[in-house]
Structures are given as structure tokens and as C-alpha cells.
Structure 1
Amino acid sequence: MLDDEARRALSRWTVGEPNAIREYAHGAINQTWLIETARGSYAFRRCAQGGAEVVRQNHRLIGEAVARGVPTVAPVVVEDGNTVVVESGRVYALFPFAAGVQVDRDRLSNNDIQAMGRSLADVLEALRGCDRSLVKEGRYEVCVSEAIREIDRLLSVISELPPGEPSDENALERLTTRRAWLVEHGVEDGDPFADFDRQPIHGEFQDRNLFLGDGKVSCIIDWDNASWSPPEWEVAPFLDFVAAYDKVKVAAFLAGYRARCKLPDERLDACVWAYGLYRAHDLWLFREVYDRRNDKARRFLTPGRFKPHFERWLRR
């Protein structure tokens, strides 16, 4: 399952020949293989986000997180002291297997979700004070006119494709109804998180990046989206993607989070509003599928009209 390029890159680490290889199916951007050798179990990654120095910066943050007690795994070092290998212009990294188990989103118990809330608060506290140079700048500026122009471009691209693909039909409906919402409700341009404090954050604290064990989060992986951002940014996507704004799941998560960190209701409402406004302008998924031809991301083009996040939040 490893191509020749990946095998050459893997050989730079002295972990032995793989005797079992399977590709990790859930990633939408990076390509990851789960590898067993006589020396241990590893996650071998072909990195698609940024060049070698961007990945090294990310690894430095992981090292700092480990030093501060965050449950995560540091990358395996090559003999020359590097944590990345560049082969044929592409960047590779190797990590030990994470401790614990991953639980599918629809099988998470309320106790699991509460443990994730506690863990997020602990991680944010641990990362507070980390050097700003360890992460990229989080950017959340929105512009209504630019978003509408980009939607029109994407609609044109999709309309020229052969008919009959369900995910394309889903994309057309989502984009058309999102455009109508922006025309009617678009507010002034700017950064909806302008009034929020910033610090280093993981950037994608969700179930697929979390391992559970002994009633707690035992390991946090995939730090690619770490950034200098509002800590509340981690809260809103979890409530969206993992809790799906379900009243019981939201309550479980907030009980765990608030056991470690203050988050008043008015601040939470402001956070979800800012997150929803940013997401209404964010067209990453459509660019990934139709500009970069990333078919792995098509599974996220689900049916249904665009629904603003704050509306879903108020109806929970």
C-alpha cells in the first residue's frame, strides 16, 4: 500500500521494515498509513498542509505541548535530528501510535463528551503562555461581497459538470441558499472575533483527533491547524460537529469545560455568533472539492439547505 516514494521516505527512520500496513481512511487532507514493525506501531504521514518548515513549526509546538503535560505524542526523530523527511518534494512525518481508543461520533457517551470538555479546558490552560512563534496566525476576517463573488464562481464551475452526481446537487443547493442568506443578512465586513483574546490553540479539537482511555482523553493528535486564535474558537466547532447542537450533548460538554474554566452564557453566545458568521463566509470545502479535486472531501457535501449556526444554536 506504500508507493516507492513513501517507502524511501520511511526508510530514513530506523524503525525496521513494516510487516503490516493499512491506510487511515478518515483524513480529508493528509495521507496517513498505520504501520506495524518489529519495533512498534506508528502513524506515517504524507503531509499536504504546508512545506517542511511549516511542519517543523508544528512539531515544535507539539514538543512544547508535551513539555507542558498535554497528552499527545511527539514525532519520531530521524538520525540527523530532524522530525521530517522530504522525498521528491513532499514532506513526511512519523508518530508513535496514540494511547487509548477512538470512538465514533455517534457512539460517544455523555461521559465521553464531558471528558472531552474537561480536556479542552486543560489543554487551553497548558498552551496559554506558549510562544506566539510556534503557531500560525488565525485569520477570521469576512467580506460579504468577496464571499458572494466566490460563490458565483463556484456555482458556475459546478453547473458545467456532467449532471447526476448527488454531491454536486448537494453543493449547488448549499451554495445557492447560502448566497441568498448572505445577500439578506450579511453584516459589515471585518473580524467577528476582534473582541476576543488570543493564544495558541490546537485548532481542531474534535472526536477524530481524540483518543479515550480510563474515562479521560488519553491522547490528542493532528495539530496541523494549530494557530494563534481565540480559545473559544475550539468550543464552537465542537458544539457544531461533535455535539451537533444537541441539547444533552452540549450540556455534557459544557459541564466538563466549565468544571475547569469559566465560560459565561453571554460569552458563549457571542462565540457561537462569531463562529457562525465566519462559517457562513468560509468556502474551504467547496474549493477543496472543485478547485483542488479532492474527492475525499466530497463526503462532507451532505444534502440540505444552508442553515446559519446561530439559528441552530438558539433552536437546540
Structure 2
Amino acid sequence: MKPAEIERLHSILNLWPLGVIQSVEEILNGAVNQVYRVQASLGNFYLRLYKTSERARVEREHALLEYVASYNLPAVQTLPSRYGTSLIEHDGKFGALYFESPGHQVKKSDLTVVHARAAGSMLARLHKVLKPLPDVGYRKYSLNWDAKEWIARLDKIEAVILQKPHLSEADQWVLYRLKDQREWMRNPACLHSYVPKFSAQVLHGDYHQGNLFFQKETVCGVIDWDQAVYMPRGFEVARVASYMFDLKPDLTMAFLEAYMALNPLPQEELEDGAAAWGCHCDHYVWAQEEIYLHGNERARVFIPDTAYKPFSEVWAQLTKKL
């Protein structure tokens, strides 16, 4: 980091009683907020500088953390600032300092059925605790897209890539996936809108291995609650099966069995959630636009290194095996 950046970070960190700051390291695996690991004489923490300028959104997140922790579930908490607040504002940006979670994170490629069961059990417990909460402005997915508009967005991304003087292997892979996604957008079987049949509740919204910490056979830490949503729980269950486990039969089965053992999910409700998530998943263009239209290379980690396949197709194959 440049001296000016280090000085800026130290001026922000002085807003908390940390003692002597020993090191500050930027964490580059996030795609939205700026995150830094801080080692200080008081302990190890994570500083998050939020991209959003919506104070209410961040305050909702912090209230949610306290609520979940009150039920002895491992939502990683914030360290109060010198002013007694969980949230600070510095140079027009909101920030918060989080305690370091115990345990360790696991790469997607290293996930086992043990991790899948642990993730399923924790998600089931979280959903039960979160169910009574009212909607106080949480994000909702609008599952309604204009097919022509979405095809045009894919065309725009493709045009930007083709203008590059040299195409990397990653660029070529994105072009390959864009082609198949565009063909599916034109397929009459592709759903461009969906209205879930089951009621919504507060959900974590971004539950996956990058936001979980494991200790032996349990999840001991859940971080990044700023994407909390108000949607049917089947939507999040299907999202985790897809996003975290790539719908691999052994991992998905272990995850679903562990979830349903603690928080039963009828087949009809699961299928409703899968249809809702599939409709959203098939129209996903955020990562491609972030990379090629906004220059955010961090988003590249969200593009799978597999061929594009409609979610409904993969889900149908999986449910036959289940």
C-alpha cells in the first residue's frame, strides 16, 4: 500500500481502542466492500469500508448481527468504536471493525460432505431464528426480466471483450459462456419471470464457503451479513446448493439432509425456491459487467470455470438422483 493509503487507514483505525497497530493487510477476495485484516495489541480484527452510502442498510446489518448472536449463533460481531457505536463515518464512507472469527475457511474445491452437513445444519438454525423478524427494508429480488434487454446486455459485454487487442484464456472462456447463456435467453423454455408461492422471511443472502468459518465438524463463524434479503427460505437453500456446492450430488445431498433434519422443508417448497433461484441465476450478468464494463477484476472469481448450463436443467438431473 502507498504511504497515503496507510496514513488514511491508520486515521480510521484510531477511531477504535486497538492499542498499538502492528500491521494492516488488504484482503482482495471480496468484490464489493474494501476489507483489511488488522493486527493490533488488542487482537486481530477486520476493517470493512462499505461501498454503500445507505446508513440504514448498514445499521440493519449490525442490528441483525446482535439479534442472531443473542440466540448463541456465531454471527461475527463488531467492536464498538471510541464513541460506543458499531458504525463510523470517515471521509464520506461508512466503516466497521469486526472481531476475527475462530476456525478456518475452506476453499470450494476442498469442501467435503462434512462441511456440507455443517453448512446445512447452521443454515437451518439461522432460518429458524430469523423467521419471526419483520421486513424493515431488506433487499428483495425482483424475478422479472425483459428477454430482449438481457440479450442486449450480453451483446454489449461480448462487444467490449472482442474490442480487446489480445484475448486471454479467461476472456475466451467468458465469451464461450456468454454464447450459451444468450442461446438459453432465446429459448422458449427459459423463464423470464417467476412469483414464489411460499412466504418470505429474513435470510443471510450470501451464505457460502467464503463467508463461513469451520471448526472440526461445525460452522463456528458466519460473516458478511450486509447482503441480507427478504425471500422464501427455499430460495436460499437452492442458492447454497448451486453457488456453494455446484449441485454436486454428494455434497448437495449431505447439505439438504442436514438442513431438513433441523428445519424440515417440504418438497413443494424446495422446488418453489429452486424455480425462483433458477430464474435469477439464469439471468446473472453482474460479474461479467463488473469486469468488462466497470474494470472490477475482483469479480472474476464469481464466473464458474465450467460450461454454462441453465439451472433448471442441472437441478432436474440432480433431483432424479436425490
Fold-level match, TM-score > 0.5?
A: yes
SS of the residue corresponding to residue 72 of structure 1 reads coil
Which amino acid counterpart does residue 73 of structure 1 have in structure 2?
V
SS of the residue corresponding to residue 254 of structure 1 reads helix
SS of the residue corresponding to residue 187 of structure 2 reads helix
Confirm whether residue 16 of structure 1 aligns to residue 19 of structure 2. Answer: yes
How many residues were matched structurally?
A: 315
With structure 2 as the length reference, what TM-score do the two structures score?
0.90
Q: Equivalent of 2:83, from 80, 85, 89? A: 80
Q: Residue 300 of structure 1 corresponds to which residue in structure 2?
A: 302
Confirm whether residue 123 of structure 1 aligns to residue 121 of structure 2. Answer: no
For the residues of structure 1 that align with 2:169 and 2:116, how far apart are their CA atoms? 33
* 1:273–1:137 distance in 2 versus 1, CA, 3 Å: closer
Q: Which runs of 5 or more residues in structure 2 are unaligned?
A: none
**1:170–1:301: 8 Å Cα contact kept in structure 2?**
no
For the residues of structure 2 that align with 1:124 and 1:105, how far apart are their CA atoms? 23
Which amino acid counterpart does residue 29 of structure 1 have in structure 2?
V
**1:137–1:228: 8 Å Cα contact kept in structure 2?**
yes
Confirm whether residue 163 of structure 1 aligns to residue 166 of structure 2. Answer: yes
SS of the residue corresponding to residue 273 of structure 2 reads helix
**Pairs within 5 Å for 1:1-316:** 1=1, 3-133=6-136, 135-185=138-188, 187=190, 189-190=192-193, 192-316=194-318
For the residues of structure 2 that align with 1:136 and 1:299, how far apart are their CA atoms? 23
Displacement of 1:13 after TM fit? 0.9
For the residues of structure 2 that align with 1:303 and 1:209, how far apart are their CA atoms? 20
With structure 1 as the length reference, what TM-score do the two structures score?
0.91
* 1:243–1:187 distance in 2 versus 1, CA, 3 Å: closer
Displacement of 1:156 after TM fit? 2.3
* 1:305–1:102 distance in 2 versus 1, CA, 3 Å: closer
* 1:49–1:291 distance in 2 versus 1, CA, 3 Å: farther
SS of the residue corresponding to residue 133 of structure 2 reads coil
Q: CA RMSD in A?
A: 2.1
Which amino acid counterpart does residue 273 of structure 2 have in structure 1?
C
Aligned-residue identity in percent: 26
Which amino acid counterpart does residue 159 of structure 2 have in structure 1?
S
SS of the residue corresponding to residue 202 of structure 2 reads strand
